[in-house]
Amino acid sequence: MVKCPVCDGAMDIDEEDVDEGDTISCDECGADLRVVGTDPLEVESADEDEDEDEEDFLEDEDEEEEDEDWK
């Protein structure tokens, strides 16, 4: 039994039915979750991953602008 990191609702997921990297949904709140470990079963919000990707993209854009300023 694993808890949803968004709503703390109990999720009944069989560890043998999922693989690391799979995306599942919480039955309680509907949040998209990514499986980050299977033994023991661990999940994290898939939205967190998207937020990190967006932050990395914005940081890369800032670095490119700084490089252009030096030219």
- Per the structure, the count of domains in the chain is 1
Residues spanned by the domain of 9:
2-69
What's the pLDDT at 1?
A: 84
What CATH number does residue 22 fall under?
Answer: 2.20.28.160
* Residue 37 zone, left/alpha/beta (φ > 0; ψ -120 to 50; rest): beta
The one-digit pLDDT tens for each residue of the chain (71 residues) are 899 999 999 999 988 899 999 999 999 999 999 999 988 999 999 986 554 545 555 565 555 555 555 55
